[in-house]
Chain A
Amino acid sequence: MRPNDRAGSNLMRRQELELLAAKIRRNVLDICMQRGGYAGQGVALADIAACLYFDELRDDTKGWFHDRFVLSNGHDAIMCYGALAEHGSYTMEELRTYNADGTKVDQSPIEGQLGFEITAGSLGQGPSQAAGIAYGERLKGSDKRVYCLFSDGELQEGNVWEAAMFASHHQLSNLVYIIDNNDLGATGSTTDTLGVEPVPEKFEAFGFAARRINGNNIEEILNAFDEARQIHDKPYVLICDTRLFVGIDCLRAVLPMAHYVAAKDADWEAGLTEINAKITSLTNRL
């Protein structure tokens, strides 16, 4: 499937994206089972990645994207890798060096690596940079839209709220924040560490249009992106409720709170078997 292929019926579009999401999940497992990694996040974000990379971001006709995607929480790069393998930007052979000594496939990438606009490992700095990019793109008369993914844990960083004030003040309607609202930080539940809810209401108070959705429902994700494009006087925030490993039940059952995963071989194999069966089923459906 080509990026940004909006041809065909809504049903076809959704079914193709569901298949892509399944393939992204498989890629995430394939990459992380080599030496561990942020597999739970990659699996959980696969539906958002499919919608973002293969529907929402417009093609620049040169093999890349016209719109701009800024990853703020570096560890969610695993989502990007899973998707960019399907896009053809990385080979799985390259991606299997993730987390290896000397690899060029960083767990948390540095600016300049293919697919990554900023250095993303120090959390809370993506929303401001995305807002700066959106401001600059608008200033030069470009129609590029800017999408920035960050996590609910990053909402504990003050820099995020400075960015929110700035984006709202300058009415950056070409800016869409996507929050991976998985109620998980490095040490446990965000709710227990330092509560961030109610997230939509907080952003609305800062002047955003906000929508809370199930981050694993492709229909809801697509509808939200459609809605964001219709808003012309304020930035948009999409709060995606997610949970680790949603989409691969056997791994969700054994690793529900694993911020960083080094699973047993048998668990990885079970996960692969489950997702491969799903890919076969979704392929046969098309």
Chain B
Amino acid sequence: MKLCSDLLDADSRTFDDAPFDTISYELCSRRSDVIMVSADLSKYTQMHSLKKKLPDQHLEVGMAEQNLISVAAGVSKAGYIPIATTFACYATRRAYDQMLICMGTSPLTNIVIGFTPGIANPARIHHQAAEDLGMIRAIPGATVIDPMDVTEFDQALNTAVDTPGLVYMRGHRGNTPRLLDPAAYTFQLGKTYQLRAGKGIGILSTGHATQWALEASAKLEHRDVEHSLLHVPTIKPVNEDEIAEFCFAHDQVVTIENHQIVTGLGSLVAEIVSDIGRGPRITRLGIPNRWAPGGTLPYIRKQLKLDADQLADQIVDVL
């Protein structure tokens, strides 16, 4: 694979089991002012070590997401940095007003992590959050991050604890690939990362979908289709110049996201390009504005034409 840097090597990816177990424990070990707050899902977000070894830095509010967000906001007003953790669907849909009012209007650092975002949950509709990025990026002053892997998740969270205001980020759990080399990669808020340089079709992706984009990129390379790939981990505040420069260097742009094609990365890129005018055509790939199916991730991806082969086919079709 022709990459512009040594940030990653998709052919030798490793897998982390229970990444947030390590990330949450190590962060709290370094920062005694961080409190991890959970709403009866700490077992499923995998905060095992923290609960055992640093119980004072874990706060359980029960199965009550409005309380999760508003109690966490209160904890910030006592001088701590709260990190509210639950599934993305509950954090955003169930407690949107609390996130906007209690955290969004506060200058204090308030972090919310939404796990199993998009179609990364087998239970259809109620457990899938296909609209979280769009909801939170609509909040003035909010920070929104969709990390592509464990390396970026870890580094972005360590950046978030020093970022004022509401920070919403998507989390990774379970047996999760580590694509970015922690020794070579440094997350910077707002920065975009070119994972493949080239002409032809310009592909932008974010979060989990950057893994899918890399898979599709390998297929395209095999088919001799020229393309480049830009990873956009920060949805807000976004570096508009970097995105515009990338898009205007191509005649055809494709966005790939683990999110509805409405209000997410595709919409964001379209807004930036249309504000300038006379830009490339933009094709948005992701979850359509209809209910996604349930099941295993490979099954859902295939149904939504988001598996590597169908993604590559759709990218070729834009030419």
Contact = CB atoms under 8 A, between A and B. Distances in A.
Contacts of A169: 62
Given A119-B102, A136-B79, A166-B61, A130 B74 contact: yes
Contact of B79 (A121, A130, A140): A140
B71 A129 contact: yes
B78 A111 contact: no
A125 B101 contact: yes
Contacts, number: 99
A134 B70 CA distance: 13
Given A122-B101, A165-B62, A135 B71 contact: yes
A128 B75 contact: no
A135 B35 CA distance: 11
Interface residues of B, number: 27
Nearest to A110: B105
A131 interface: yes
A279 interface: no
Contact of B78 (A110, A128, A140, A165): A140
B71 A131 contact: yes
A137 B78 contact: yes
A154 B73 CA distance: 19
B98 interface: yes
B67 A135 contact: no
A136 B105 contact: no
A159 interface: yes
A68 to B, nearest CB: 8
With a 10 A CB-CB cut-off, give which of A129, A139, A158 has the most chain B CB atoms.
A129
B105 A166 contact: no
A202 to B, nearest CB: 17
10 contacts: A112-B107, A118-B77, A121-B101, A125-B97, A128-B102, A129-B71, A133-B78, A136-B75, A136-B77, A163-B70
Interface of A: 110-112, 117-119, 121-122, 125, 128-137, 139-140, 142, 158-159, 162-163, 165-166, 169
Interface of B: 35, 56, 59, 61-62, 64, 66-67, 70-80, 82, 97-98, 101-102, 105-107
